Amino acid sequence: MKKETMLQLGILIFGVIAPMLIPSLSFQISILWLMILFALTWDMMGGQMGYNSLGNIAFFGFGMYICAGVQVGLYYDLAEYTSPFTTINATFTPDQYYTGLFLGIIAAAVGCVFIALILSTFLFGLRGPYFAIGTLGVALAAGELIGAWEYIGAGSGISIPVHPGEAGEKTQLFYYLTLFAMIGTFLFVKWLYGTRWGLAMNAIRDDEEKAEAMGIHTYRYKSMTWAFSAFFLGISGALFGNMTGFIEPLEVAFPTVTFGIFMVAMALLGGKGTLWGPVLGATLFHVVKEVTWTYLLGWQWVALGLLIVLNVVFFQEGIMGWMARKWPERFGLSVDSHMSRSKQSEEAS
Amino acid sequence: MSSIEIKNVSKSYGGVHANTNISMSIPSGKITGLIGPNGSGKTTLFNSVVGYHPIDSGSIQFKGKEISKLRVQEIARLGMLRTFQQTRIYSKMDCVRNMLISIPHRTMQWHEMLKPFTPELTEKAEHLLEFVGLYQKRHLISGDLSFGQQKLLEFAMALMNDPEILLLDEPTAGINPTLINGLIDRLLRANSEFGITLFVIEHNMRVIMNLAESIYCLAHGEMLAHGTSDEIQNDKRVIDAYLGAH
Ligand SMILES: Nc1ncnc2c1ncn2[C@@H]1O[C@H](COP(=O)(O)OP(=O)(O)OP(=O)(O)O)[C@@H](O)[C@H]1O
Ligand SMILES: [Mg+2]
């Protein structure tokens, strides 16, 4: 069996049995799955296509709000439900809960695809640092606008419908949903990078003007790739909103300076533009973060900041990039001893 | 039949008249040359033809169709490709991948974009890399190749695209003199075997005289002369332009 297959199988088995082995860490590990999803979706844009988005977190927030809106809106008037002046006695039967959650997640994913396609029409006129700042602006503005929108609760947020089962059941449900979302994202990007689409993304990264001169449909690839990452981020937001139980715009839905920056940092740490880099980076980052939160309380941000600084100053290529430079042959980068195709087939026969 | 028909094209950058009233006709299936001193407006003309920038006035037709208002990608997908004077390749990808993504995008449908590359395409890419002498290096990151090798790769990428016409901006610049004859031979074969019309900017007189039947000469943004290689070689205005060039 190939090493990569074994690694994937190992992660899958760990993912499935982890909540039984270490139930107390279920929540933490489901956050890890989301972190990997973040890094993978960021890397589609930043690493593979060269468009460093600082605002991808916006889709996380949009997904969260769309899902909550559907979960509540299916059964109650959303304005009344979120209004601070009226209290309605909102209860959800298990049937209503699961229908709402299911449809909410789908709506979050599809809704984010549309938002990405609309944002594409003006943001992809920007390149380099202007694109980064433009997307950051979108994420910040989105948080502010939602914070001012009474209909969906403005700054005071929305309480998500309560899971009908025991507390442990909810954690377990969302644990497996996040695991499933992460695996789905991973398999999707792995497949995508093996298609013509994947190479077109790389071509745009390396020289967009050349790609245009070669007739590549650059806009199509850019906008749809962003839509793909928005799809998975929308799902992640929908799940995270339900995990916390209460959402509000600034800290939970649009955490630009935490999750929003983490996604970039994690991809860079593992090695951007690779399949496994974001997975590795997110795992390492999350472990360091959790350990420092537990043992270095008060210094945790310093430790994380230090990790990021060390990464970008001394280790820009990330873990996977460093490995590719150290062992190029393992990554298929080698000089062939054959001068031509024909000689090779002669020797083979 | 003419492939490209350029009529009275002018282009200036601010106060610089890079092209003034240029007219020329590029016959289909042949090799046409474009020469002129540095700064005479050759690259500017290429850029106008491939839609890299809008022209100030005039008309450019490709196979009878007006293309002067089309965008770069649209023109490329009509089957007209250019290489860059400064050589542009996808520098973080290996040579084979550079080749694979250079397949024609003319008829690419959505579902085809999501397909993997077939072994036939990889085979074609390797054949063309062998054609330009880069077979051994095909699994190296293209940005690590020498400048001359990158130039050869860019040429191979253009061939991978099956263009009808190829605009080459100084294909031999930076190529080792001992390899130039081989490159001339390959350009001639691209024309005769693959049937690609060539329109070539070149400073090396020996190269252009060996390649092109019909040669245009620009000076100071204006058309100075047009003729066969013999006519151009003996044209006093052309000789003066080159010697008097600064
Ligand atoms: N983007 C630009 N902005 C301003 N001026 C330009 C630009 N591109 C070219 N020029 C000017 O237009 C004139 C023609 O330049 P062009 O690059 O077409 O010359 P060329 O014939 O290709 O020269 P060379 O043989 O050196 O490549 C020059 O005077 C140049 O300075
Ligand atoms: Mg030039």
Q: What is the pLDDT of residue A1?
A: 65
pLDDT average, residue stretch A304-332: 86
The whole-angstrom separation of Cα A284 and Cα A40 is: 14
Q: Do A215 and B81 touch (CB under 8 A)?
A: yes
Kindly tell me if the per-residue pLDDT of A349 is higher than 50: no
Q: What is the pLDDT of residue B145?
A: 93
Kindly tell me if the per-residue pLDDT of A347 is higher than 50: no
Kindly tell me if the per-residue pLDDT of A206 is higher than 90: yes
Residue A332 with chain B: CB contacts under 8 Å: 94, 139
Residue-range domain boundaries for chain A? 25-255
Domain termination residue (choose one: B162, B177, B206): B162
Say if CB A282 and CB A32 are below 8 A apart.
Answer: yes
CA of B43 to the centre of ligand 2 (A): 4
* B12-30 burial: b if 16+ Cβ within 10 Å, else e: eeeeebbbbebebebeeee
Q: What is the pLDDT of residue A343?
A: 60
User: B65 forms bridges with which residues in the sheet?
Assistant: B62
Q: What is the pLDDT of residue A205?
A: 96
Q: What is the pLDDT of residue B190?
A: 94
Give the torsion through C-alpha atoms of B86, B92, B96, B101, to 10 deg.
-80
Segment B169-198, tens digit of pLDDT: 999 988 888 889 889 999 999 999 999 999
Give the torsion through C-alpha atoms of B86, B89, B95, B98, to 10 deg.
-150
Classify residue A251 by its DSSP letter. I
Residue B19 φ then ψ, to 5°: -135, 130
Task: Please compute Rg for chain A using Cα positions.
Answer: 22
Q: What is the pLDDT of residue B244?
A: 65
Query: B7 and B33 in one domain?
Result: yes
Kindly tell me if the per-residue pLDDT of A227 is higher than 90: yes
Residue A202 with chain B: CB contacts under 8 Å: 90, 92-93, 97, 101
- Residue A103 CA, chain-centre distance (Å), reads 20
Query: B92 and B64 in one domain?
Result: no
Say if CB B201 and CB B49 are below 8 A apart.
Answer: no
Q: What is the pLDDT of residue A91?
A: 84
Chain A CB within 8 Å of residue B205 CB: no
Query: B96 and B60 in one domain?
Result: no
Residues on chain A bordering chain B, Cβ-to-Cβ distance under 8 angstroms: 192, 194-197, 199-200, 202-203, 205-207, 209-218, 220-221, 273, 332-341
> What was the ipTM of the complex prediction?
0.93
B20 CB under 6 A from ligand 1?
Answer: no
Q: Do A209 and B89 touch (CB under 8 A)?
A: no
Say if CB B70 and CB A179 are below 8 A apart.
Answer: no
Residue A312: Cβ within 10 Å count = 13
Structure tokens at A65: 């709000």
Q: What is the pLDDT of residue B228?
A: 92
pLDDT average, residue stretch A69-77: 89
The whole-angstrom separation of Cα B240 and Cα A347 is: 57
Q: Do A196 and B113 touch (CB under 8 A)?
A: yes
Segment B87-104, tens digit of pLDDT: 999 999 999 999 999 999
Domain span at residue B136 reads: 88-162
Domain termination residue (choose one: B136, B162, B188): B162
The whole-angstrom separation of Cα B121 and Cα B129 is: 12
Query: B118 and B72 in one domain?
Result: no
Query: B171 and B70 in one domain?
Result: yes
Q: What is the pLDDT of residue B177?
A: 86
Q: What is the pLDDT of residue A346?
A: 45
Say if CB B98 and CB B89 are below 8 A apart.
Answer: yes
Query: B50 and B1 in one domain?
Result: yes
Query: B28 and B104 in one domain?
Result: no
Residue A212 with chain B: CB contacts under 8 Å: 72-73, 76
Q: What angle do CA B40, B41, B44 make, to 5 degrees?
A: 165
For chain A, give the mean pLDDT. 90
B42 CB under 6 A from ligand 1?
Answer: yes
CB-count exposure of residue A172 (10 Å: 0-12, 13-18, 19+): middle
Q: Do A197 and B117 touch (CB under 8 A)?
A: no
Query: B145 and B42 in one domain?
Result: no
The whole-angstrom separation of Cα A328 and Cα B100 is: 21
Query: B184 and B105 in one domain?
Result: no
Q: Do A340 and B82 touch (CB under 8 A)?
A: no
Segment A162-198, tens digit of pLDDT: 889 887 899 999 999 999 999 999 999 999 999 999 9
Listed range (A80-84, A181-185, A261-265) with the worst mean pLDDT: A80-84
Query: B241 and B223 in one domain?
Result: yes
- Give the pTM: 0.92
Query: B169 and B146 in one domain?
Result: no
Q: What is the pLDDT of residue A149?
A: 84
Task: Return the best residue to mutate from B12, B17, B19, B43 for the ligand 1 pocket (most ligand atoms within 8 A of CB).
Answer: B43
**Residues of chain B below pLDDT 50:** 246
Query: B133 and B198 in one domain?
Result: no
Domain termination residue (choose one: B115, B145, B162): B162
- How many structural domains does chain B have? 2
Kindly tell me if the per-residue pLDDT of A155 is higher than 80: no
Q: What is the pLDDT of residue A344?
A: 54
As a whole number of angstroms, the longest Cα–Cα distance in chain B is 57
B16 CB under 6 A from ligand 1?
Answer: yes
Residue of B90, B91, B126, B130 for testing the chain A interface, max A β-carbons within 10 Å: B90
